[in-house]
Structure 1
Amino acid sequence: MKKIICASIACISMALICTSCASQKNQYYEKSNIVMDTAVTLSASGANSKEAVEESFKKLDEINEMASTNIETSDIYKINNASGKSYVKVHPEIFKMIETSIKYSKLSDGAWDITLGPIIDLWGIGTDNERLPSDEEIKAKLPLVGYDKISINENDSSIMLQKEGMALDLGGIAKGFAADEVLKIYKKYNIENGLINLGSSSIYALGKNKDNKEWSVGIKHPRSEDPNEYMGIIKLSNESLSTSGDYERYFIKDNKRYHHILDPKTGYPVDNGVMSDTIVIDGNTTDNGMLSDLLTTTVFTLGPDKGLKLIDSLKGISCEITTSDHKVYTSDGFKDRIIDLNKEFKFVK
């Protein structure tokens, strides 16, 4: 379930090598492809830039094969299929995502929850089957939601969902995890500058851009139809960024917007006045991509007061929250990160 960020410096194109580079050390390579149901663009500068990018795409395919809810051989599909019946041994990377999810579910008092699968399927938002389910349908599925119903066996990295009909969905964490894995590959090949753009939702800006400046990332205007109109611009270097919004996958019925960010407690789209939020995490923070991905959904669900309180309690993490009255709430120190704030918006903190 995710979200649009427009990276003004990340051009979507097929693989290319910059012929104007002065040396092999500064060789630039960029490639785009559809992975994990989204358009991914990876760029890198360095002697081994092509090798780094190509290996990264192979890794993304591997993660998708393990984390997809639709591929019958994936670990997540097997867990869901065995719900209420048995444990399923999973790959350590899937185990890590699930274990981390439970940790942040507890930390956020359930605002983040990967057991929303049955509710996500019920709404079908972003698919050909999207619809407004009845109150009765939602109430019938809610007992299947709850991170406390995930059983973990650390001895053999196995997972079981306690109730039949439960289903995990890693859509709010898998791309962030994948960004971390790509960064590991970049570092293996000594890539010091590059942009990891996973579906314009999970971004890691490594070093500097081709002009030897910080990377500029535009945060989409949540109510503009123009994809090039931003709420503001953020400069990044060796940092991860993720944004959640109610504007990418939604439908409108009877003048009401129903979006894909669902509240685990109610089974309905979150309705707290938040339109979007953006998380930025220092690159020295362990698992920064994965955390930025899951925390955007978490903060969106918590709202400005509880969301900012959570972020301000976490080291190396900052955020902004944009509400429907066009106010922008920021965590400690984040206000100065946003430049060229659109005149339609106003800072609150």
Structure 2
Amino acid sequence: MIKKISMLMTCILCILIFSGCSKNQEIITKTALKMDTVFQLKAYGPKANEAIEESLSRLDEIEQMASVTIDSSDISKINQASGKEYVQVHPEIVKMLETAVKYSKLSNGVFDITVGPLVNLWGIGTDNERIPTDEEIKSKLPLVGYNDISINEENNSIKLLKEGMAIDLGGIAKGFAADEVLKIYKKYDIKGGIISLGGSSIYTVGQKPDGTPWNVGVKHPRKDSDQDYVGIINLSEQALSTSGDYERYFIKDGKRYHHILNPSTGYPTDNGVISVTIVVDSSIPDSNMLADILTKTVFIAGVDNGLKFIDSLQGVSCMAITSDYNIYKSSNWNIKLDKLDPDFKFAN
């Protein structure tokens, strides 16, 4: 029997907010459905409401550019013109694609946004989810390859070199959006707040009104309740992203098929990793977008290769959880995990 958890109902991370602040420090909270995901913005300060309203408008703009389900979006136009012609796009799309290609090269193709044909084939998280045949998967693999993305910076145009190729920005767009919201928060001088885009991309601004850090709970990957955590992390001015095999999946004949596909095999990644959390320092440019990319990269690469890759980067740390409930940390992970669930133990 197939079991499905909707991405609209289950967040990868749950934010624990404890207020009790003065009227001048009231936390403004707004929730909206964007990019098929529940987004939540929190802020306090004299211009908190203005910052959140402008942020929501900006999120609408990004969705109209980057969504694969909107026919008029830049990404849809690129995919529709694959193998045929260049498509002029917004500069923001060029930035996302250039960043994606950069980390595809650094990871030797472990991260690859041209998995669109495979994503469409599996349909995980949609009404059309199914297990494709080996032949169907093999027929799509030649269409996956970041080297076949051609970027013309002079006129902001993109071409996919093979007909049938398709870009999927599921591993980067929410991180980019979080960075854009952060720019707006800084514009309005927001001293404290949280940017939570689907729960999987989170940035904490400053501290809570009482001067304590924001508390972020890392979702238990095998319990359905959003109140079940691996542990609690205190964050301030850091980007955090988590990816897991529990976000979008279905179960068939006792096997879990999830949405994080391996671009080299065409199948859901199956290496023992069930959850990856990345934390990126605010000093790193595009910290949210980078965190978004790296969660998928480590998940697909596996514990050994993934953590080795993270250790080669500045300002980035990682925590990976395996199916035996062991927690592995990158060498520079120095973040305390409070209230550790007894199900889990640190392996290194």
TM superposition score category, shorter chain reference: over 0.9
Distance change >3 Å, CA 60–CA 130, structure 1 → 2:
same
2:252 aligned partner, one-letter code:
K
Q: CA deviation at 1:97?
A: 0.3
Distance, in Å, in 2 between the alignment partners of 1:318 and 1:10 is 26
**Matches of residues 117-128 of structure 1 in structure 2 within 5 Å?**
117-128=116-127
Which string of whole-angstrom CA distances, capped at 9 and with x for unpartnered residues, describes residues 239-273 of structure 1?
Answer: 01000000121111111110000000000000000
Q: CA deviation at 1:210?
A: 3.1
Distance, in Å, in 2 between the alignment partners of 1:236 and 1:62 is 28
Q: Is the 8 A contact 2:143 2:165 kept in 1?
A: yes
Distance, in Å, in 2 between the alignment partners of 1:267 and 1:10 is 43
Which string of whole-angstrom CA distances, capped at 9 and with x for unpartnered residues, describes residues 28-65 of structure 1?
Answer: 32111111111111011111100000000000000000
1:125 aligned partner, one-letter code:
I
Q: CA deviation at 1:154?
A: 1.4
Aligned to 2:34: 35
Distance, in Å, in 2 between the alignment partners of 1:182 and 1:221 is 27
Distance, in Å, in 2 between the alignment partners of 1:28 and 1:139 is 51
**Matches of residues 230-241 of structure 1 in structure 2 within 5 Å?**
230-241=229-240
Q: Is the 8 A contact 2:311 2:332 kept in 1?
A: no
Distance, in Å, in 1 between the alignment partners of 2:224 and 2:23 is 40
Q: Aligned residue pairs: how many?
A: 340
Mapped pair 1:157 → 2:156? yes
Q: Is the 8 A contact 2:59 2:177 kept in 1?
A: yes
Aligned to 1:209: 208
Q: Is the 8 A contact 2:233 2:335 kept in 1?
A: no
Mapped pair 1:9 → 2:1? no
Aligned to 1:97: 96
Q: TM-score if structure 1 supplies the norm length?
A: 0.94
Aligned to 1:14: none
Unaligned 5+ runs, structure 2: 1-5
Seq. identity, %: 59
Distance change >3 Å, CA 231–CA 150, structure 1 → 2:
same
Distance, in Å, in 2 between the alignment partners of 1:225 and 1:101 is 31
Distance, in Å, in 2 between the alignment partners of 1:195 and 1:10 is 13
Aligned to 1:266: 265
Q: Which moved more, 1:218-227 or 1:155-164?
A: 218-227
Specify the SS of the correspondent of 1:289.
Answer: helix
Q: Which moved more, 1:220-229 or 1:303-312?
A: 220-229
1:60 aligned partner, one-letter code:
L
Distance, in Å, in 2 between the alignment partners of 1:157 and 1:333 is 37
Which string of whole-angstrom CA distances, capped at 9 and with x for unpartnered residues, describes residues 272-327 of structure 1?
Answer: 00000000011111000000011100110011111111111111110100000111
2:172 aligned partner, one-letter code:
I
Aligned to 1:132: 131
Distance, in Å, in 2 between the alignment partners of 1:22 and 1:167 is 49
Which string of whole-angstrom CA distances, capped at 9 and with x for unpartnered residues, describes residues 196-220 of structure 1?
Answer: 0101110000001233211111111
Q: Is the 8 A contact 1:21 1:28 kept in 2?
A: no
Distance change >3 Å, CA 295–CA 229, structure 1 → 2:
same
Q: TM-score if structure 2 supplies the norm length?
A: 0.95
Distance, in Å, in 2 between the alignment partners of 1:28 and 1:268 is 43
Unaligned 5+ runs, structure 1: 12-17
2:133 aligned partner, one-letter code:
S
